[in-house]
Amino acid sequence: MSQPVSRFLHPFDVARHPSLEPEVKRAILARWASDRSAVAGKPALRKPPGVRRAIPVDDVFAALRSLDGQPGAGEATRQ
């Protein structure tokens, strides 16, 4: 991937990126969903390396669902 992952501010920035292959989008979002990105003491939040603000894990899952075209997948809360 030619662009650093840290340039994405929100999971839907990844999911909607026009030039990333679906497999790359899934890999990035799976990394964000991983417990390795969990915020200590706040298991519902993820803060991947290079991302400025913590993101609700539900937003990450919604972005992943959007790649499958599942209903309600575009409904996520931005903070």
User: What pLDDT, in 10s, does the model give residues 19-50?
Assistant: 999 999 999 999 999 999 999 999 999 998 88
Query: In which band, very low, low, confident or very high, does the pLDDT at 1 lie, cut at 50, 70 and 90?
Result: very low
Q: What is the pLDDT of residue 6?
A: 66
CB 39 within 8 A of CB 54: yes
Amino acid 5: pLDDT: 63
The 10 Å CB-count burial string (b at 16+, else e) for 60-79 is bbbbbbbbeeeeebeebeee
How many CA atoms are closer than 13 Å to the CA of 73, on its beta-carbon side? 14
pLDDT of 69 > 90? The answer is no
